Structure 1
Amino acid sequence: MKTLFALGFVVVVLAVAGAAGGWLWMQSEVAKPGPSVETTTFEVRKGEHLGSVADRLEEQGLIRDARTLRLHARVEGQQTAVKVGEYAIPARASVQRILEQLVEGDVIEYRITVPEGLTTAQILRIIEKSDDLDGDMPEREIAEGTLLPDTYIFGADTTRTQMIERMEKAQDDLLEKLWPERSDDLPIESPEEAVILASVVEKETGIASERDLVAGLFTQRLKRGMRLESDPTVIYGVSKGEPLFNRAGQRRTLYRSELNKATDWNTYQIDGLPKTPICNPGRDAIAAVLNPADTDYVFFVADGKGGHLFAETLAEHNRNVAAYRAYEREEIARERNN
């Protein structure tokens, strides 16, 4: 009886020792540096199971044996935890490190930057030319002013349609947040009108610190029944916001005939706001028109240095215009002498 007990005890000890040895062996195997000598891109596809992922990792030379990864994932309870996406697998990455990366979803991130003040047509060209986005452009019309400029981070397999929809939703979400927080007594009646005015402010401001003041100035003009008289609105009526060129292919300013021509956007010729936005304004421009600076300024002119000279009266404005023209003459003379 004692002999049988002793034999059973030995069997249990050997089994435990074997299990412990197997555990230590597996821990050693999954921690070993992998065979790959360079960072490699690897994609986990939609609907793919762990077995297939492990097999392809072995085929691409990222791990030595697919069975090791499958066993490690089973022990860790992570057979179904890997996330779809594109991964940059580091050189010599171990089975343990690779599984951690796939479970954490540490995917390669792409980004696309859309500057403030571009027209919808210009933004759509950026999206269409992006090599990091998939799929065709949507066939539906994308309205002016409905895409929120920003830097968007996205993963592999993001389509161009999805990116456009994401930008539209970002615009909607921003307006939903900011519209209820607007100042009282604004001369705009809807979020859509806020975007129209913000698009004019966006095109008129080259310095961020002036944005609230320009928004306040245009707000005052609207309240007083004055026309906005904004050059960018004229340009939109001429070319839908595309740069203007002369016959020699050089960039040009507006012609007097264009300033005098009535369009749905020429705020020298029409009262109130343009028919549509003239670009896609950024979040700061939208916020500025909803909470503009409290000012009595109703005139402004470029100062030649990227900013503007502001005035409350026409007489003061005329002096600012004269100062700007004198500055221009000095700059022209300086260039000729150099």
Structure 2
Amino acid sequence: MIWRNIASNFLTLLIVMLIAAAAAVAWAKHQFSGPGPSAVAQCVQVAPGASLNAVSQQLVEQGAISNSYVFRAGTDYLDKARDLKFGSYLVPPHASMEQIVGVITAGGPSTCGTEVLVRVGVRENTVLLRDMNPDTGAFEEMARFNPATEESPEAISVAVEKPGARLRVVMAEGVTSWQVVEALKAAPFLTGEVEDIPAEGSLAPDTYEVEKGRSRSALLAEMAQRQAAILAEEWEARPFGLPYETPEEALIMASIVEKETGVADERAQVASVFVNRLERGMRLETDPTVIYGITNGQGVLDRGLRRSELAARTPYNTYRVDGLPPTPIANPGRAAIHAALNPDSTDYVFFVADGTGGHTFSRTLEEHNAAVARWREIERQQGGDPTSPVQGDG
């Protein structure tokens, strides 16, 4: 009888323990998969070489999760304990532990935290310090400077040394290779000298994630590799009948298209104008090539072209020489390269600014002269000089 009571009591205890265990598992599963405690977005930072224990404690301290043990156990159960990726990641409000594990083990570019950007622009280069505001999910500018005219703020130097800081170079479409090199010289997180300016047009406008200490020459090599790959891909897919003998000629045309319009939808139309001119034996007569011949790509021409400059016979003065200029006049983006190799089918051979940022396209000289007259009137109303050479007059 005694043994029967003991067995009965043991069985009862075992059942209670199993129920408690099942309840604990259910609770832990709910804690791991259910909504998290943070009512705001959180910037979760994973330091290089950080352990799962350190990350879980950090997440508890910043209020992103409620229990470090459950977080570690769930991560182990998913077999992701060794998959932590260095970086700073923005997780949404009330993100579950499971969601956070997915974010910090997937990797990829950092999406929050401190960010130092070098922007290579057509008119100027800028170095920016930004920080993500977790409450809004937006980056807020903390400091900036123009390396050509200003000293770097101490805050930017401090940020570059900050663990987990995101370092990027953002290269705009239509900048010259000289402008890129000047920007990289001012990048506080890059190292090494640049011996030669890369060939014009050979660098791909894009955003480049870099690590502190990367060499400038290595980054330029990556830019060149990307551009070469883009050009090869677009050249291979080109239609028949275009007036280019080599990919380099298409790149030259793309650079002209890039500099002639900032309106994305116009690129293929602008390309059609210049293709039509080449096919009809007309000169390209485009101002950006003349400007490049004056500046050699080193900065911008902050004035209108002079009649003497339009009359001068230089390799880049397409008002005076036939065909394409000898080299690209900027680094075109993929869209401009695509437009040069896939121009619209039009009869247009002229275009001029229309006062809205775009252009009016014309098939005949009579139509073009009327469009120029309208543009002159707009210039007059805006206080410009209606006797100066027409800018943007393709």
Same fold (TM over 0.5): yes
Shift of 1:297: 4.8
Contact 1:187/1:219, CA 8 A, preserved across alignment: yes
Q: Which runs of 5+ in 2 are unaligned?
A: 116-167, 385-394
Q: How much identity, in percent, do the aligned residues show?
A: 36
Contact 1:108/1:156, CA 8 A, preserved across alignment: no
Point out which structure has higher relative CO (alpha carbons under 8 A, 6+ apart).
Answer: 1
Q: Residue 108 of structure 1: which of 108, 111, 115 is its match?
A: 111
Distance 2:24 2:263 in 1: 67
Distance 1:2 1:333 in 2: 107
Distance 1:196 1:253 in 2: 23
Q: What residue number does 2:312 align with?
A: 261
Q: Residue 334 of structure 2: which of 283, 288, 292 is its match?
A: 283
**CA 217–326 in structure 1, closer or farther in 2 if over 3 Å, else same:** closer
Distance 2:97 2:346 in 1: 65
Deviation by residue 1:217-247 (Cα, 9 ceiling, x = unmatched): 32233345443222110101111343323xx
Q: Residue 352 of structure 2: which of 302, 305, 309 is its match?
A: 302
**CA 119–64 in structure 1, closer or farther in 2 if over 3 Å, else same:** same
Q: What residue number does 2:130 align with?
A: none
Deviation by residue 1:176-204 (Cα, 9 ceiling, x = unmatched): 33212223232212222211111112222
Amino acid at match of 1:135: F
After superposing the two structures, state which structure 1 stretch, 213-222 or 231-240, moved more: 213-222
Contact 1:147/1:280, CA 8 A, preserved across alignment: yes
Amino acid at match of 1:185: G
Q: What residue number does 1:240 align with?
A: 296
After superposing the two structures, state which structure 1 stretch, 12-21 or 108-117, moved more: 108-117
Contact 1:85/1:156, CA 8 A, preserved across alignment: no
1:50 lines up with 2:52 in the alignment: yes
Q: What residue number does 1:324 align with?
A: 372
Q: TM-score, normalised by structure 2?
A: 0.63
1:179 lines up with 2:241 in the alignment: no
Contact 2:169/2:210, CA 8 A, preserved across alignment: no
**CA 128–322 in structure 1, closer or farther in 2 if over 3 Å, else same:** same
Distance 1:321 1:138 in 2: 53
Shift of 1:325: 4.3
Q: What residue number does 1:189 align with?
A: 245
Distance 2:371 2:97 in 1: 71
Distance 2:23 2:381 in 1: 88
Provide the aligned length of Structure 1 versus Structure 2.
320
Deviation by residue 1:1-26 (Cα, 9 ceiling, x = unmatched): 65665455345424423422432453
Shift of 1:129: 7.9
Deviation by residue 1:101-127 (Cα, 9 ceiling, x = unmatched): 434559526898755433344456777
Q: TM-score, normalised by structure 1?
A: 0.72
